């Protein structure tokens, strides 16, 4: 199969003689591992734009990135993830002197992954500047069929949930850009450069494309598969495995007995996965240098595995076992300080309040996909691939 970037020859013909701005990152490579910067004529490139983590993926999560000059192209790099919420939105002057903007970012299939919202903000800026914008499409690495979880409710939008889409959306970055443009009325002059040969049911390992980590803690496609659920741990003081070699698959805290935890998780009878008890010591971020008890998720059947439900179960199990030691994140999350991070990630306050009230797991399970039917109706209008 071929990604949108693999269609670069036809796009370059269309953009011949044009002055181009380019939004990309380290994973912006074609099927031969050639980076998009190397495929564009230097005379065309006027400015580079970097999303969260920076243009080469150096910065950790929620680490502000300053503007710079790219050492390879000697072109200015505008950071679209600075030290404030305002930095996420490109200013009109940043697009002066351009004829077009091209975006090539690898998404991972979860609503929280910020790259798609960087594209949305850039689309808004291009509309205001009267510039066409091209989004090069890439596979959803955890498949383009499965949809799981509820949508973001009014009052809970943020950079991890700008629009009312499901936690696991089952769409490609190009499809999302098209949806944002029309359903949510950005109205940019958008062209999605489609892939060739991609099948919606395929996971990334079936595409035969090379995997390049799109962010520092997304080392493998298997990480992406658990991410729609295990990212929820970012809203707590539990380690989500950053600082280990298997982030989001490994999780825990210094106060956890791993054997007691895995027994509790087994009682939830979650499908498609096994929890292996372990001890680990993060080298950075939460509990760095401390021995933590916890578990590693081993996915045994990706078709029946529900990552978002699994993440909710992990939080439920740990809070049930350690109600006095379990803590929500208190610091601002993605530039938002007045709304709890868990509410931003789940899309409302419903799960947090149910957990704190000790509601039965059965009730949580029944309500965890609130709003999904409406999203499915909307989604079907923006699917580019059979």
Confirm whether 344 is domain-assigned: yes
Reported as a single tens digit per residue, the pLDDT across 102-133 is 999 999 999 999 999 999 999 999 999 999 99
Which residue, among 315, 299, 304, has the nearest Cα to 361 in the 3D structure?
315
Domain identity same for 233 and 90: no
Taking only the tens of pLDDT, the chain with its 386 residues reads 999 999 999 999 999 999 999 999 999 999 999 999 999 999 999 999 999 999 999 999 999 999 999 988 999 999 999 999 999 999 989 999 999 999 999 999 999 999 999 999 999 999 999 999 999 999 999 999 999 999 999 999 999 999 999 999 999 999 999 999 999 999 999 999 999 999 999 999 999 999 999 999 999 999 999 999 999 999 999 999 999 999 999 999 999 999 999 999 999 999 999 999 999 999 999 999 999 999 999 999 999 999 999 999 999 999 999 999 999 999 999 999 999 999 999 999 999 999 999 999 999 999 999 999 999 999 999 999 98
Domain identity same for 162 and 284: no
Confirm whether 214 is domain-assigned: no
In the chain, the number of structural domains is 2
Reported as a single tens digit per residue, the pLDDT across 199-239 is 999 999 999 999 999 999 999 999 999 999 999 999 999 99
Strands (DSSP E) contained in the chain are: 20-24, 45-50, 68-69, 76-79, 100-104, 132-136, 189-193, 250-253, 273-280, 292-299
Phi-psi domain of 100 (left: phi exceeds 0; alpha: psi -120 through 50; beta: other): beta
Domain of 38? 5-209+377-382
Domain identity same for 200 and 340: no
- pLDDT recorded at residue 35: 97
CA 185 to CA 236: how far, in whole Å? 34
CA 141 to CA 205: how far, in whole Å? 8
Q: What is the CATH number of the domain that holds 64?
A: 3.40.50.12170
Domain identity same for 83 and 186: yes
Residues paired with 382 in a beta bridge: none
């Amino acid at each position: 199969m071929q990604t949108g970037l693999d269609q670069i020859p036809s796009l370059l013909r269309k953009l011949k003689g044009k002055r181009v701005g380019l939004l990309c990152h380290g994973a912006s490579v074609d099927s031969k591992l050639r980076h998009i910067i190397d495929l564009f004529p230097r005379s065309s490139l006027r400015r580079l734009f970097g999303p969260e983590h920076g243009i080469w993926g150096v910065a950790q999560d929620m680490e502000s990135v300053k503007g710079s000059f790219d050492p390879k192209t000697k072109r200015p790099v505008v950071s679209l993830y600075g030290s404030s919420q305002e930095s996420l939105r490109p200013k009109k002057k940043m697009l002066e002197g351009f004829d077009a903007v091209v975006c090539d970012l690898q998404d991972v299939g979860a609503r929280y992954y910020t790259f798609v919202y960087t594209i949305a903000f850039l689309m808004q800026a291009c509309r205001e500047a009267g510039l066409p914008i091209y989004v090069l499409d890439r596979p959803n690495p955890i498949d383009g069929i499965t949809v799981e979880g509820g949508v973001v409710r009014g009052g809970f939008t943020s950079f991890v949930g700008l629009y009312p889409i499901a936690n696991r959306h089952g769409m490609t970055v190009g499809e999302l850009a098209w949806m944002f443009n029309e359903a949510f009325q950005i109205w940019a002059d958008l062209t999605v450069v489609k892939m060739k040969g991609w099948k919606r049911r395929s996971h990334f390992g079936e595409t035969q494309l090379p995997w390049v980590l799109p962010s520092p803690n997304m080392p493998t496609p298997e990480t992406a598969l658990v991410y729609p659920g295990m990212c929820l741990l970012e809203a707590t003081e539990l380690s989500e495995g950053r600082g280990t070699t298997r982030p989001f698959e490994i999780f825990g805290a210094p106060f956890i007995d791993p054997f007691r935890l895995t027994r509790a998780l087994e009682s939830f009878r979650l499908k498609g996965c096994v929890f292996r008890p372990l001890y680990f010591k993060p080298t950075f971020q939460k509990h760095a240098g401390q021995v933590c008890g916890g578990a590693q998720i081993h996915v045994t059947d990706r078709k029946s595995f529900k990552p978002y439900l699994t993440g909710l179960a992990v939080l439920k199990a740990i809070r049930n076992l350690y109600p006095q030691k379990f803590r929500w994140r208190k610091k601002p999350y993605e530039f938002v300080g007045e709304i709890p991070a868990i509410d931003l990630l789940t899309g409302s306050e419903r799960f947090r309040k149910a957990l704190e009230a000790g509601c039965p797991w059965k009730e949580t399970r029944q309500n965890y996909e609130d709003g999904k039917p409406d999203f499915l109706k909307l989604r079907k209008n923006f699917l580019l691939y059979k």
